[in-house]
Each structure stands twice: as C-alpha cells, then as structure tokens.
Amino acid sequence: MRVDVAGAAVPQLSRREIAAFARRVLRAARGEIAELSIAFVDDAAMRALNRRYRRKNKSTDVLTFPDEIVISLDQARRQARDQKHSLPTEVRYLIVHGVLHALGYDHERDHGEMNALELSVRERVGLV
C-alpha cells in the first residue's frame, strides 16, 4: 500500500514514520486501501474544507475523503495540550480515526462500532 504525506511538517515525526504508522493501522484494522494521502494543514485551510464539504464554518481536527486524510496541526496541538500528551501521539490518534473513516466506518451513524474498533486498533498498534 502506498501512503503519501504532504503539507506541514510534524515535529518529531518524519514523513516516513507517518506513512509506516498508517500502514500499521490499516493492517491492525484489517483494511485494504491501495493508496492513501495524509495532508497536514492549518486551521484556516481546514475551516475552508469543512465549510465547503460539510457546511460547517469552523475548523476540525480531521477530515477524511476517499483515499485522503486531512489533519489540522493547529487543532492537533490544542487537543494534545488538553489531553496532556505529545503532538506526535495526537497525530497518531487522528491517523487511526481518519483511516477508519477511509475504510467506511462512521461514528456519527453507527452504534458504537467505530469507537470500539478505534480502541482495539489503538491497542494493536501500541497507542494506549
């Protein structure tokens, strides 16, 4: 599986590490995607995407499109600070979440299946 990483650099995580982690998540979730792009953006770019595609005029942490995950580093930093863990840890959480969406899971419509799988995948990849 091919994973491309674009956008702003993530401190303490190389693009190679991000791609390798996304592949581990896919294996742990027993999912298959031929190609995946992960893009890191700021809040302004995320707000524009969220407004355009979800009609919500605010930033969010992660948006998932077919074969693409977009993560706001600004939002990830705030969430890492609020949860008292590192930015790389928060980025990994968001990659797990985004990959599950890319595999077709939807926590807004299911009955807890995605949340349960997300916890299981986090455990399998050593992110607890």
**Residue 85 confidence (pLDDT):** 96
User: Rounded to an integer, what distance in angstroms lies between the CA atom of residue 109 and that of residue 113?
Assistant: 10
pLDDT score for 111: 82
Q: What is the pLDDT of residue 31?
A: 86
What is the reported pLDDT for 117? 95
Residue 40 burial (10 A CB sphere; 0-12, 13-18, 19+): buried
Report the pLDDT value the prediction gives residue 64, as an integer from 0 to 100.
96
pLDDT, block means (10 residues), the chain with 128 residues = 93 96 94 93 98 96 95 98 97 97 88 92 93
For the chain, list the domains and their CATH numbers. 2-123 (3.40.390.30)
Instruction: Quickly count: other Cβ atoms within 10 Å of residue 14's Cβ.
Output: 11
pLDDT score of 1: 84
- What pLDDT score does 28 carry? 95
pLDDT, position 26? 94
Which pairing describes strands 68-72 and 62-65: parallel, antiparallel, or unpaired?
antiparallel
